[in-house]
Amino acid sequence: MRPWSEDFSACGLEEILRFQTENREWSKELRRRTNVLVNSRLAKNMSQDDYLAGRKLVHEDTAECRNRANILDEQIVRHSGLLALARQG
């Protein structure tokens, strides 16, 4: 994921949509990492401690990914509303 800023004042809707696409890709990668961890643990290819450490990192990243998704959704609504107002005016 590229560097993140919650200041979208200089961003247009298209750029915010690109951020959303990147965030969705990151979410897919996090799900894939979770599956790899679970499968490795089930196959006894890693210790319980390594598994728990990996899950903790993925969990933290997943929380950040969800937070970013919520922020981006708000920004999309805000920018879409601004576009609608501009078209009416």
Task: Enter the tokens of residue 27.
Answer: 């979410």
- 87 has pLDDT over 90: no
pTM, full prediction:
0.84
Are 10 and 79 in contact by the 8 Å Cβ rule? The answer is no
Confidence check: pLDDT of 9 > 60: yes
**Whole-number average pLDDT of the chain:** 91
Find out whether 30 and 56 touch, Cβ atoms under 8 Å.
no
DSSP letters spanning 13-56: HHHHHHHHHHHHHHHHHHHHHHHHHHHHHHTT-S-HHHHHHHHH
For residues 63 and 27, give the distance between their C-alpha atoms in angstroms, rounded to a whole number.
10
pLDDT of residue 4: 77
| Tens of pLDDT, residues 71-84 | 999 999 998 876 66
Q: Which of 7, 5, 13 is nearest to 79 (CA)?
A: 13
Whether 14 has a pLDDT exceeding 80, the answer reads: yes
